[in-house]
């Protein structure tokens, strides 16, 4: 039985990776913090582990006291925070700790996957609308993106480490919490946009992403990086229309000027961080990203190297996601 370590196993993407790994009969070591909410994980089928990613020496003790994992997916990451320096600490420094600990203990897996983000490369040109390519010069526009890019550069500098890097686009599916806000808003009859220009986006359904990542682990390919999307191009309006159709909802379109949203976002973040120490979903770093027009990317490498085709159409993915929100009384 192959052993796989999945970090951030309780999170949205991580919990789906756990399910896919179990489907493939792996022995799953689900790495979570002691403070994490992991009640939704299949605790009878997995082994929970708590390696401290913040401390290289503790990580070395962890790897020394375990057999070598066949596969590792380093999925834990911070996507929003009140303290901006945390992006670098968690996304970059913790990854460095993890990889150094693996190398120093000689517990290097057969394959290591790093979950990066399209944000590491930043948006594409808003005029030409060309998809961002792996060979383009990365131009992240957020601190989150910068931290992911710094991590990628570090990993690529290690020549004898069997890594693959995946940069997912917008991932949607059961348990997701950011797109969920759109589902809720559309259910209430409000369809919101920033500015009047069309926004082009790429997406991937979380189960397609999980299947792709496991296929990549089992492949012979190493030392490469990919944008992970479902190979389609969408507009934000198309995405909203699909949700609208699935909900059988009627909506009013509200178009807010970018400057106004930027200011309200700033104010909301200031108040929420100061009063509750909690970063809102729509925050100043996120605003930089969601106000861009071109989030298209070239994922053709997935087809060449892993024969990837998505199993879910947007319609099917949205329907399954909505059903999950309904079953969990979230909508």
| Interaction pattern, residues 146-175, with ligand NAP; x per rule: CB under 6 A | ----------------------x-xx----
| Distance in angstroms between the alpha carbons of the first and the last residue of the chain | 40
3-state helix, strand, coil in the chain (%, to 5): 40, 15, 40
Distance (Å, whole) CA 303 – CA 254:
38
Is the CB of residue 156 less than 8 Å from the CB of residue 217?
A: no
Cβ proximity to ligand NAP: between 79 and 284 the closer is 79
Least spacing, CB of residue 58 vs ligand NAP, in Å:
12
Q: Would you count residue 27 as binding ligand NAP (CB under 6 A)?
A: no
Closer Cβ to ligand NAP, 244 or 286, answer by number: 286
33 touches ligand NAP by CB under 6 A? yes
Given 3, 10, 109, 321, the residue binding ligand NAP (CB under 6 A): 10
Instruction: Judge residue 297's burial from the number of C-beta atoms within 10 Å of its C-beta, 0-12 exposed, 13-18 middle, 19 or more buried.
Output: buried
DSSP three-state, residue 6: strand
CA of residue 295 relative to chain centroid, distance: 14
Query: Candidates 9-17, 103-111, 192-200, 295-303 — which segment interacts with ligand NAP by CB under 6 A?
Result: 9-17
Within 53-82, the residues that bind ligand NAP by CB under 6 A are 53, 75-79
Does 331 participate in binding ligand NAP (rule CB under 6 A)?
no
The one among 30, 97, 98, 117 contacting ligand NAP by CB under 6 A: 117
Under rule CB under 6 A, residue 114 binds ligand NAP: no
Distances, alpha carbon 24 to alpha carbons 19, 43, 56, 226, in Å: 9, 17, 31, 23
In 69-175, where do the E strands start and end?
Answer: 71-74, 111-115, 163-168, 170-172
Q: Identify which of residues 117 and 283 has a Cβ nearer to ligand NAP in the complex.
A: 117
Q: How many residues bind ligand NAP (CB under 6 A)?
A: 21
**Phi, psi (degrees; rounded to nearest 5) at 78:** -105, 130
3-state secondary structure 60-97: HHHHHCCCCCCEEEECCCCCCCCCCHHHHHHHHHHHHH
Q: How far is the CB of 293 from ligand NAP (least distance, A)?
A: 18
The reply on whether position 317 binds ligand NAP by CB under 6 A is no
Binding site for ligand NAP (CB under 6 A): 8, 10-14, 33, 35-36, 53, 75-79, 90, 115, 117, 168, 170-171
């Amino acid at each position: 039985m192959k052993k796989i370590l999945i970090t951030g196993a309780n999170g949205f993407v991580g919990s789906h990776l756990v399910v896919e790994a179990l489907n493939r009969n792996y022995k799953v070591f689900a790495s979570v913090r002691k403070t994490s909410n992991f009640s939704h994980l299949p605790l009878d089928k997995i082994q929970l582990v708590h390696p401290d990613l913040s401390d290289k020496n503790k990580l070395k003790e962890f790897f020394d006291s375990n057999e070598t994992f066949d596969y590792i997916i380093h999925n834990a990451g911070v996507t929003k925070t009140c303290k901006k320096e945390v992006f670098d600490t968690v996304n970059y420094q913790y990854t460095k700790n993890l990889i150094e600990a693996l190398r120093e203990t000689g517990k290097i897996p057969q394959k290591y996957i790093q979950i990066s983000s399209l944000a590491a490369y930043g948006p594409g040109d808003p005029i030409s609308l060309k998809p961002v390519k792996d060979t383009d010069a990365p131009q992240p526009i957020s601190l989150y993106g910068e931290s992911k890019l710094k991590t990628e550069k570090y990993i690529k500098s290690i020549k004898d480490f069997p890594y693959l890097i995946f940069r997912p686009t917008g991932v949607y599916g059961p348990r997701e919490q950011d797109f969920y806000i759109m589902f809720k808003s559309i259910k209430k009859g409000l369809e919101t946009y920033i500015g009047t220009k069309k926004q082009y986006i790429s997406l991937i359904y979380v189960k397609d992403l999980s299947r792709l990542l496991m296929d990549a682990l089992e492949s012979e390919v190493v030392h490469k990086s990919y944008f992970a999307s479902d190979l389609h191009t969408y507009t934000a309006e198309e995405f909203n229309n699909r949700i609208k159709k699935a909900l059988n909802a009627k909506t009013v379109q509200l178009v807010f000027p970018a400057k106004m949203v930027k200011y309200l976002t700033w104010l909301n973040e200031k108040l929420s961080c100061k009063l509750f120490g909690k970063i809102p979903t729509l925050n100043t770093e996120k605003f930089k990203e969601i106000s861009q027009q071109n989030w298209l990317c070239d994922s053709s490498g997935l087809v060449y190297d892993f024969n990837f085709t998505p199993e879910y159409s947007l319609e099917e993915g949205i329907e399954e996601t909505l059903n999950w929100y309904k079953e969990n009384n979230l909508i």
